[in-house]
Structure 1
Amino acid sequence: MLTTFGFLDVPELSIILVIALIIFGPGKLPDIGKSLGKGIAEFKKATDGKSSETKDERIEK
């Protein structure tokens, strides 16, 4: 079975997508996806910066 995020499989993601489509409509989904993608990218960027700082601190000790 295909696992995408480790805790959600394809059927669960399909159900979530259908519910989002019903709630927000087809016109808003691209905007929501774009905003979600930007948020995830910013989060990854912030956590990457933190992990490199902690690696530098470990090297100094």
Structure 2
Amino acid sequence: MMRQADLAEQQSQENDLFNKRLGPIKTDLLRATHNIRTSMDSLIDAMSDLEKGMDRLKALTA
């Protein structure tokens, strides 16, 4: 029974250490994902504006 308690405590400590190491990495990945989404939204908006401008130019020259 003591052996099981020791194993459970050791696993708990290992999980805590892993989660402490994983936390900053997870934060970095979430931040990067947010930046990519924001950049993609900006790119899509800019492409839409460009398409509208091109349509207006085509209508003017047609």
Question: Common fold, TM-score beyond 0.5?
Answer: yes
The answer as to 2:31 corresponding to 1:38 is: yes
The 4+ residue runs of structure 1 with deviation greater than 3 A are none
Q: How much is the aligned-residue C-alpha RMSD, in angstroms?
A: 1.8
TM-score (norm 1): 0.56
Identity of aligned residues (%): 13
TM-score (norm 2): 0.55
Q: Say which structure, 1 or 2, has more relative contact order (CA 8 Å, 6+ apart).
A: 1
Point out where structure 2 has 5 or more consecutive residues left out of the alignment: 1-14, 55-62
Instruction: Name the structure where helix makes up a greater proportion of residues.
Output: 2
Matching residue of 1:19: none
Point out where structure 1 has 5 or more consecutive residues left out of the alignment: 1-21
Instruction: Find the structure with the greater CA-based Rg.
Output: 2
